[in-house]
Structure 1
Amino acid sequence: MSGEKRRYVSVEEQELRRLKEQESRLRSVQQDLPERLNAVREQARREFQQRLAPLEQRAQQQEKETQKLRSNLADLEKDTQKRLQQQRQEFQTAVRESENRQQQALQRETSRLESAMRQGFEQQRSEYLRITSEQRQEYTRLIAQQDQKFTQLIAQERQARERGQQILQQQIDRVVTDIAQEKQRKAKIAEDLLADVETIWSQINRDYQHQRFAPGRLADLHRGLEIARNNIQAGVTEAAIATTQQTYLDLADLRLELEQKEQEWLLFYNAAWEDLKSLITEVQANRECEIEVGQGNEAEKFKLEVDYWVNGRLSQYEQQLNDLESQLKAGESTLTTEQVKELGEKIAALQPILGEIVEQAKLAILGSQLRVEIADKVVEVLESLGYTLVNPNSDAVYEGDDQRNSYVVKVKNIAGDEVVTVISPEKEFGSNVVSINSFSETIVDETATQQNAKAIFDALSEEGVQGDSPVECNQQAKIEYQNLEEVKRRQVGKQTGM
């Protein structure tokens, strides 16, 4: 005959706090994480400088082509190139100064991060996220600074263009007595102006990522050039000059906009890339952690395979990061600023999750230890009632030989009666189901089994493990747990409890 006594139990809140905080500390096994993160940031800095290099090469090419312009736009373009060159130099100087500030901060932060790692994983994560936040503020300051610089540059450009328009108008208004000569002179002005503006249009088409940052705008402006050419062919030179001049003004505005958007994109992209690579590095460094349970000489240390204890959640998380890395890498020449910002926001949203995953692993191993402690208390009570562990090495096992699963222990008395206790985890940390199964070749004494169960649950209550429900009594015990060798070999799904 057999029977089961079953009850849901949970650890008191005070005991939970003790398990989580007072007597359990989590640390990274990899102590070189600060050096790894510094290496990632240094690599990101070098890659950023490589992305800036084409800006300077573009400027040199445009400067050469400006010397070949035929109209009064040549002087305007030379002055524009000087102002753009100054802006680019100021931008690169600002980037270098920001990098220097970050590098100096990293030297200070390395010691703080190392100290936080010694204190525990929670402090490490808090320090890491603070450092990341400060670095993002550097990029935010840079973006705001560039917005201000371009506002000033646009104002200077418009003033210069107004002066250029006045000079051009003076050339057009110059009095010529010969009508044929007048017509020929205006046609020459129109043709030279159109040729120069077509050159500038071609430069923007060739050198800038206009379809990414201002889709369709450049194509729209080409229609103005076509209208001007038709006007020249029709002999309407003044209309051609006006149309070409307006097209140039629009092209100049577009070029400044593209310069600004490209620099802004570079800042957002580099920030997202650095954040992501740092987070991937941190994940790789924390695949294993060490948990210390207890204090002083009684403290025990356990090495923690994080992915194992969270049922593969760390691998899934890392795959998310790898997918984002692939998107950033593949989209370096196609992603818009908004798309990069969205990816950056996704990365920022994922940053705290690593801490949650490692904390989940910590609670899982503590929960596993708690099931052993509950089993020990049950055995202690049953031993006082005449039961013993026949073979301590084989009469207590994890189901499926998996520490995340139920813990099963069996005791036997002199009459051959067996009691098998199954402690199964629930979803919430500290909650378990305790199932006490009695097996006997004779009739099971229901009164005795109830008394045994009461003694067990009373003892657990004294240890801070309270019953959450009345004791359930079932006539049939769980026969599938009687043979512990089979329980150990059993292929079972992973439990979801902590």
Structure 2
Amino acid sequence: MSGAKMISVDAAAWRSAQQSARRLAQVRRDMPRLVAQVRQGVEDELRRTRGETAARQDATDRGLAGLSAQTRRLEEETGRRLREQAERLHESDERHRREAAAREARLDAEIAREREERRAGLAALGSRVDELRAGRDDAAAAARRLAADARIMHDTIRAELPHERFAPGRLARLDARLRTAEGNLEAHAAAYTLSQAQDLYLDLSELRVEVESLALDWAEARAEALAALRGAEAVIAGNAERPVEDADPGTVMDVDHWTGGALAELRAEVAARIGGISGPGCPLTAAELRALAAEAAPGYEARLAALLESAADRMVGSQLRVNVAEQVVAVLEAQGFGWTGNAYAGGDERREFFSKLRHLADGGEVVVEVAPDGDAGLTLRILSYEDDPDDSARRERSRAVSRALRAEGLQVGDPAEEAGAPDPRLRDLDALSRPDAVTGADAVTGAPSRAEGADGR
């Protein structure tokens, strides 16, 4: 008869009763330091975005300083409204920032309103086109002013605004039209170029408004995404270690340790996403950035919650293995055995727990192995090393262990005999506790132990 007995233990009922484990698995977002860190990150990002926006608008204003008097007044008014628009975007509250459809409609309305006001601003000049054509010199002068203004607008957009990002190809097409208008002026057809120059300048000016408005919207979307991701990053960092209630002072749950490095992988993934959108080469659109804020960032917190639950279950499961081993040791001590030592496989509390006993009369040894078995249970193996084994005593020993564990409220299966003799190497607790110890299973993943020579089923 084999000296290896296996008993399956379903720890689900026991674990569900452990309120401390459930509290450990709750994501904490309300820590004052964490809240302050998230708020500061949002403020820093908005401040940086405001600075970039203001710098771009200042550069645009400088580039347009050479416009003629009438168009300069129109562009100054446009610049003032764009700055007001930027402030409204950055001062909108959380609810407003998340209303994507309303925001897009508002942006479209802003662009349309600017377009109508610009057309109205140039209407006075347009109403004089026929009159100016009657006076060739006046018409030529007006056409040259508008063409020169169009060239200034074109060059400023090209130098200062991200036109290819938000309106790809538009400036190149307008440049071709501008070159044609300039050619007509050189060909002494200025009087007939006035309408062409006016339409061209209006299209360039509208391109300026559209690009700046879209750039503002994109900057806000990126600020939202970064704030959300950095908030998730702070929540993850703030939950990396959790104090354990009802334990020795200073006892903490190291989430990365108990999840086998999964928390570090999550932190690295979030950091990579932040790095990918915080630099100047961020490839995402405003819609993609808002989806990142609305979906990806909460998704990271959901994954954190799952990791916390897994870590808490594994930490509680580790303690459960010790408790079960203690119960088995108590039963065996009542049968004439004396306890001689404990060890975790590889010195790692996430893995199998071993207790060793020696019979006080005949010197026979028993090793108790308690290994994790999936998410809701464990596997108990009683390995007997005796020179003159008593099969009936072994069977009674296993039945006594099962009765004792059931009395503690655990769901315990009947003992099952394993084929083969127990692995003699499992008697050496010092060797088992070394970091390079191999017991035949990686208990961190929840696989049952399969020690050589004792086929756990």
Question: Contact 2:89–2:220 (CA<8 Å) still a contact in 1?
Answer: no
Number of the residue aligned with 1:285: 238
- Which amino acid is the alignment partner of residue 15 of structure 2? L
Number of the residue aligned with 1:128: none
Residue 200 of structure 1 deviates from its aligned partner by: 0.8
Please give the alpha-carbon distance, in whole angstroms, between the structure 2 residues aligned to 1:342 and 1:78: 39
Number of the residue aligned with 1:158: 116
Q: Deviations over 1:240-288 (max 9, x none)?
A: 3343333323223322221221221221111222222233333333332
Please give the alpha-carbon distance, in whole angstroms, between the structure 1 residues aligned to 2:327 and 2:97: 57
Please give the alpha-carbon distance, in whole angstroms, between the structure 2 residues aligned to 1:334 and 1:474: 61
Please give the alpha-carbon distance, in whole angstroms, between the structure 1 residues aligned to 2:121 and 2:428: 97
2:388 aligned with 1:447: no
Number of the residue aligned with 2:50: 52
Please give the alpha-carbon distance, in whole angstroms, between the structure 2 residues aligned to 1:280 and 1:61: 35
Relative to structure 1, is the Cα distance of residues 252 and 60 closer, same or farther in structure 2, using a 3 angstrom cutoff?
A: same
Residue 339 of structure 1 deviates from its aligned partner by: 5.1
User: Of 320, 324, 333, which residue of structure 2 is paired with 1:374?
Assistant: 324
CA RMSD of the aligned region, Å?
3.4
Residue 59 of structure 1 deviates from its aligned partner by: 4.2
Please give the alpha-carbon distance, in whole angstroms, between the structure 2 residues aligned to 1:94 and 1:237: 43
User: Of 273, 296, 304, which residue of structure 2 is paired with 1:354?
Assistant: 304
2:405 aligned with 1:420: no
Query: Residue 422 of structure 2 aligns to a residue in which SS?
Result: coil
Number of the residue aligned with 1:482: 427
Number of the residue aligned with 1:9: 9
2:211 aligned with 1:258: yes
- Which amino acid is the alignment partner of residue 131 of structure 2? D
Please give the alpha-carbon distance, in whole angstroms, between the structure 2 residues aligned to 1:185 and 1:155: 31
Residue 437 of structure 1 deviates from its aligned partner by: 0.9
Larger mean Cα displacement after TM superposition, 86-95 or 189-198: 86-95
Please give the alpha-carbon distance, in whole angstroms, between the structure 2 residues aligned to 1:484 and 1:331: 57
Number of the residue aligned with 1:79: 74
Q: Deviations over 1:459-483 (max 9, x none)?
A: 2223232245762332311322112
Q: Deviations over 1:1-27 (max 9, x none)?
A: 96211233212x4323102x2676439
Number of the residue aligned with 1:123: none
Number of the residue aligned with 1:433: 379
Relative to structure 1, is the Cα distance of residues 151 and 305 closer, same or farther in structure 2, using a 3 angstrom cutoff?
A: same
Please give the alpha-carbon distance, in whole angstroms, between the structure 1 residues aligned to 2:414 and 2:150: 84
Number of the residue aligned with 2:451: none
Relative to structure 1, is the Cα distance of residues 306 and 268 closer, same or farther in structure 2, using a 3 angstrom cutoff?
A: same
Number of the residue aligned with 2:453: none
Relative to structure 1, is the Cα distance of residues 63 and 307 closer, same or farther in structure 2, using a 3 angstrom cutoff?
A: closer
Task: Give every structure 1 segment of 4 or more consecutive aligned residues whose post-TM-superposition deviation is greater than 6 Å.
Answer: none
2:205 aligned with 1:207: no
State the identity %: 24
Please give the alpha-carbon distance, in whole angstroms, between the structure 1 residues aligned to 2:21 and 2:44: 44
Number of the residue aligned with 1:328: 277
Please give the alpha-carbon distance, in whole angstroms, between the structure 2 residues aligned to 1:43 and 1:16: 38
Aligned pair count reads: 441
Unaligned stretches of 5+ residues in structure 1: 99-134
Q: How does the TM-score come out when normalised to structure 1?
A: 0.78
Unaligned stretches of 5+ residues in structure 2: 448-457
Please give the alpha-carbon distance, in whole angstroms, between the structure 1 residues aligned to 2:191 and 2:253: 80
Please give the alpha-carbon distance, in whole angstroms, between the structure 2 residues aligned to 1:23 and 1:39: 27
Question: Contact 2:111–2:213 (CA<8 Å) still a contact in 1?
Answer: no
Matches within 5 A, 1:165-176: 165=123, 167-174=125-132, 176=134
Residue 423 of structure 1 deviates from its aligned partner by: 0.8
- Which amino acid is the alignment partner of residue 401 of structure 1? G
Please give the alpha-carbon distance, in whole angstroms, between the structure 2 residues aligned to 1:57 and 1:370: 61
2:352 aligned with 1:406: yes
Question: Contact 1:76–1:160 (CA<8 Å) still a contact in 2?
Answer: no
Number of the residue aligned with 2:67: 69
Relative to structure 1, is the Cα distance of residues 287 and 234 closer, same or farther in structure 2, using a 3 angstrom cutoff?
A: same
Question: Contact 1:9–1:465 (CA<8 Å) still a contact in 2?
Answer: yes
Please give the alpha-carbon distance, in whole angstroms, between the structure 2 residues aligned to 1:399 and 1:54: 56
Question: Contact 1:232–1:240 (CA<8 Å) still a contact in 2?
Answer: yes
Question: Contact 1:291–1:362 (CA<8 Å) still a contact in 2?
Answer: no
- Which amino acid is the alignment partner of residue 386 of structure 1? G
Number of the residue aligned with 2:252: 303
Relative to structure 1, is the Cα distance of residues 328 and 198 closer, same or farther in structure 2, using a 3 angstrom cutoff?
A: same
Please give the alpha-carbon distance, in whole angstroms, between the structure 2 residues aligned to 1:159 and 1:223: 26
Q: Deviations over 1:292-314 (max 9, x none)?
A: 248xxxx9883222221111111
Query: Residue 24 of structure 2 aligns to a residue in which SS?
Result: strand
Relative to structure 1, is the Cα distance of residues 321 and 398 closer, same or farther in structure 2, using a 3 angstrom cutoff?
A: same
Relative to structure 1, is the Cα distance of residues 235 and 472 closer, same or farther in structure 2, using a 3 angstrom cutoff?
A: farther
Please give the alpha-carbon distance, in whole angstroms, between the structure 1 residues aligned to 2:56 and 2:264: 43
Number of the residue aligned with 2:450: none
Question: Contact 1:201–1:251 (CA<8 Å) still a contact in 2?
Answer: yes
Q: Deviations over 1:184-238 (max 9, x none)?
A: 4433333222111111111111221112222222122211112222333445546
Residue 495 of structure 1 deviates from its aligned partner by: 2.0
Q: How does the TM-score come out when normalised to structure 2?
A: 0.84
Please give the alpha-carbon distance, in whole angstroms, between the structure 2 residues aligned to 1:79 and 1:142: 30
Residue 382 of structure 1 deviates from its aligned partner by: 1.7
Number of the residue aligned with 1:102: none
